[in-house]
Structure 1
Amino acid sequence: MPPAVPDPAGATPVPFNVPQPAGNELAYLAEAVGNRHLSGDGPFTKRCNAWLERETGARQALLTHSCTAAMEMAAMLFDLAPGDEVIMPSFTFVSTANAAVLRGAVPVFVDIRPDTLNIDERLIEAAVTERTRAIFVVHYAGVSAAMDEIMAIADRHGLFVLEDAAQGVAARYGDRPLGSIGHLGAVSFHETKNLIAGEGGALLVNDARFIDRAHILREKGTNRTKFLQGRVDKYTWVDVGSSYLPSELNAAFLLAQFEKVEEIQRARHRAWDRYHRAMAPLEREGLLARPSVPQICAHNAHIYYVLMPTMERRTELLRRTKAAGIGAVFHYVPLHSAPAGTRFARQHGALPVTDDLSARLVRLPLWAGLEDRAIDAVSALVADVARG
């Protein structure tokens, strides 16, 4: 059972996240063990790939052991090389930048929009140089970046687009699922995401020219997939690659989550909406800002955050939530201000919105089984701190 409402002394905590089975997880794990196929690309992996292709429209979906792995594969498929540049936001998890850095490429950070906290599409074109090869787009909190504008920029300059849709499963931009719009997409099934496998991710291949090589990279640089398909009489080492396959146990657990996606999403939206209603009076009073979702976007209730008016007020909220046993966190330390960011990357101009909003943001607990009374208690504490 999810935790109940916290009392003032913090005796009954509300964790930031509680990963939960949704239905057939244990039965499918037992079936996977009974199949005696625990390594990658077994029947459960294939069923998950097929589900993702149906739901996203991707030409090919390939489960990976993490979203990080999927983004590293994307950087290899784009043939990023030392000195190449990749435009991306600084307000993202380190994996987005590492995918480029591991190929010797240089992340070029541009600022984010103040409404969605996504890359500001109006700033991308000015950051393009003769070395630019790709744009890595991050869909923060399951709210899409302005993909029509970004794809148009990419087309004008002959650039590849990777959608970091780690937080974007079951979210849409218009009628298009996130991860299905760029040349490649990467999604996450980490235990903090909407659909979970403990650890896990997937590469979504939307441009058919990358399909064959994606299989090779994922299979340690061999053409094993062609061999299994009967397209070659033996398989051998043909390219760079690594071991990006997840265990069949992860895939078995994940398939059970896929089967309950509508139920999980309803529960998450109910919790998100309850937070949003509770924060509305505080926003009207100018005491904080709530998430903003453009009309063209259908979000997936992945994150509920508030933007406090100052960093000091954010610090006080984090202190109070910790004392009450509430798992609120900040998100993220911008990459341009990190030690590795100054070594491996550069920024295009000042990043005032990134610096400001990252210093004021607080993520609140949110998962599919979060009870109303816990949401109300968290909201009451936020209101108490906001009103000072």
Structure 2
Amino acid sequence: MQSHADHDASGDGAPKASIPFNRPYMTGRELHYMAQAHGAGHLAGDGVFTQRCHQWMSERTNAAKTLLTHSCTAALEMAALLLEIAPGDEIIMPSYTFVSTANAFVLRGGVPVFVDVRTDTFNLDEGLVEDAITERTKAIVPVHYAGVGCEMDTLMAIAKKHSLYVVEDAAQGVMARYKGRALGSIGQLGAYSFHETKNVICGEGGALIINDPAFATSAEIIREKGTDRSRFYRGEVDKYTWQSSGSSFLPSELSASFLWAQLLEADWLTSERLALWNTYNVLLAPLERRGLLRRPVIPVECEHNAHMYQILVAADIDRQSVLQRLKEAGVGAVFHYVPLHSSPAGRSFGRAHGDLPVTIDISSRLIRLPMWIGLSDSEQQYVVSTLERALTGNA
């Protein structure tokens, strides 16, 4: 394969074409299965491919039930409905996360309580959670950043002690594990993403992982616009009717058929990404020893999925300058979240528990490097050499 970072004959160091941050990967069967769905005359949700995906994910996570959704955002919104979040209910979560983590609960009138993250994994700091609990706290929402598991045993113990729910935002956690357990399978509910930037994709898509069987029937009803249509299709009732509040959270069979092709290759996709991640980790070790950056930290109890490769630039290095140099050299590196607690909506709808110094620090120093299947060795070497020049200020 020709490298996208091949240099032109002038020798000026400029790449012929850019190395994008992400490039969606197809396994080769996606269009075939989509054609099968069309041939079967079923393009709406909950067809054969949806059921195959449900079974695959339930078996992989040991879930009581799995339900595909049109996004991880939708899965989180379903979780908020299932927990009957009411105005004033507080939900503990990190500030260093995507807006959907908070929005799902804000839509029900919930109040996000933003807690700082750990310095190693950038996950919710379990040591700060209990102090953030009040009489209005309803749930804890840990976010498994970069597919690295939060300290779930401690969080589950805190939740049990205070009679709280745990909803795992495992948007980045498909195929990753904590102490041998699939991320998303530990709390009462979990949420996955199959967005095109994730490891396993269908363009836009998600799944709600239901680990507490008490939520299974209600989840089906909420997902099907508040009706018991799923029971009707299984022959459990002779007609379906409006049972409760809900919405249309189903993905189409086209999305599910695309996803099915990906799930069948999920182990291979994960191994390929891990190989890329390990290559970066080796190439960047000398830069870490020189104090220019910090590589990712993976706790021994976590089996990550190589969702991303992120670095922290040294505190005295201007990240924006580094990003600009990378961009000029054709490398699609990006920063990540702006802390939610400092955003206009975060200040309006939620509150910060403490000053969140770690969140503020890492949000100004973190850079994500290009990461996608098909990235060649020469491209990774080019990314790292370009990064080194950007970090040291050498053009």
Task: Using structure 2 for the length normalisation, give the TM-score.
Answer: 0.96
Q: State how far apart, in whole Å, the 2-side matches of 1:144 and 1:157 are.
A: 22
Deviation at 1:336, TM superposition (A): 0.6
Q: State how far apart, in whole Å, the 2-side matches of 1:333 and 1:17 are.
A: 20
Deviation at 1:2, TM superposition (A): 7.7
Q: Does the CA contact (< 8 Å) of 2:4 and 2:17 recur in 1?
A: yes
Q: Does the CA contact (< 8 Å) of 1:16 and 1:328 recur in 2?
A: yes
Deviation at 1:312, TM superposition (A): 4.8
Q: Does the CA contact (< 8 Å) of 1:311 and 1:360 recur in 2?
A: no
Q: State how far apart, in whole Å, the 1-side matches of 2:238 and 2:32 are.
A: 37
1:93 aligns with 2:84: no
Letter in 1 for 2:237: V
Equivalent residue, structure 1, for 2:321:
316
1:334 aligns with 2:339: yes
Q: State how far apart, in whole Å, the 2-side matches of 1:261 and 1:53 are.
A: 14
Letter in 2 for 1:358: S
Select which of 151, 156, 166 maps to 1:151: 156
Q: Does the CA contact (< 8 Å) of 1:6 and 1:325 recur in 2?
A: no
Deviates more, 1:82-91 or 1:301-310: 301-310
Q: Does the CA contact (< 8 Å) of 2:341 and 2:352 recur in 1?
A: yes
Deviates more, 1:161-170 or 1:4-13: 4-13
Equivalent residue, structure 1, for 2:10:
none
| Identity across matched positions, percent | 57
Letter in 1 for 2:370: P
Equivalent residue, structure 1, for 2:370:
365
Matches within 5 A, 1:1-388: 4-5=4-5, 7=7, 8-310=13-315, 312-388=317-393
Deviates more, 1:362-371 or 1:82-91: 362-371
Deviations 1:250-284 (A, max 9, x none): 01011001111122112101110011111111111
- Compared CA separation, residues 91 and 2, structure 1 to 2 (3 A): farther
Q: In structure 2, list runs of 5 or more residues that go unmatched.
A: 8-12
- Compared CA separation, residues 331 and 221, structure 1 to 2 (3 A): same
- Compared CA separation, residues 194 and 257, structure 1 to 2 (3 A): same
Deviation at 1:305, TM superposition (A): 0.7
Deviation at 1:54, TM superposition (A): 1.0
Secondary structure class of the residue paired with 1:124: helix
Q: State how far apart, in whole Å, the 2-side matches of 1:300 and 1:102 are.
A: 31
Deviation at 1:176, TM superposition (A): 0.1
Letter in 1 for 2:253: E
Q: State how far apart, in whole Å, the 1-side matches of 2:377 and 2:49 are.
A: 35
Deviation at 1:9, TM superposition (A): 2.3
- Compared CA separation, residues 311 and 287, structure 1 to 2 (3 A): closer
Task: Using structure 1 for the length normalisation, give the TM-score.
Answer: 0.98
- Compared CA separation, residues 386 and 106, structure 1 to 2 (3 A): same
Q: State how far apart, in whole Å, the 1-side matches of 2:262 and 2:6 are.
A: 29
Provide the aligned length of Structure 1 versus Structure 2: 388
Letter in 1 for 2:346: G
Q: In structure 1, list runs of 5 or more residues that go unmatched.
A: none
Deviation at 1:230, TM superposition (A): 2.4
Deviations 1:320-357 (A, max 9, x none): 11111211110110101111011000011110000000
Secondary structure class of the residue paired with 2:230: helix
Q: Does the CA contact (< 8 Å) of 1:3 and 1:13 recur in 2?
A: no
Q: Does the CA contact (< 8 Å) of 1:3 and 1:12 recur in 2?
A: no
Deviation at 1:24, TM superposition (A): 1.0
Q: Does the CA contact (< 8 Å) of 1:276 and 1:290 recur in 2?
A: yes
Q: Does the CA contact (< 8 Å) of 1:106 and 1:344 recur in 2?
A: yes
Q: State how far apart, in whole Å, the 1-side matches of 2:6 and 2:83 are.
A: 49
Deviations 1:116-175 (A, max 9, x none): 000000000000000000001100000000000000000000000000000000000011
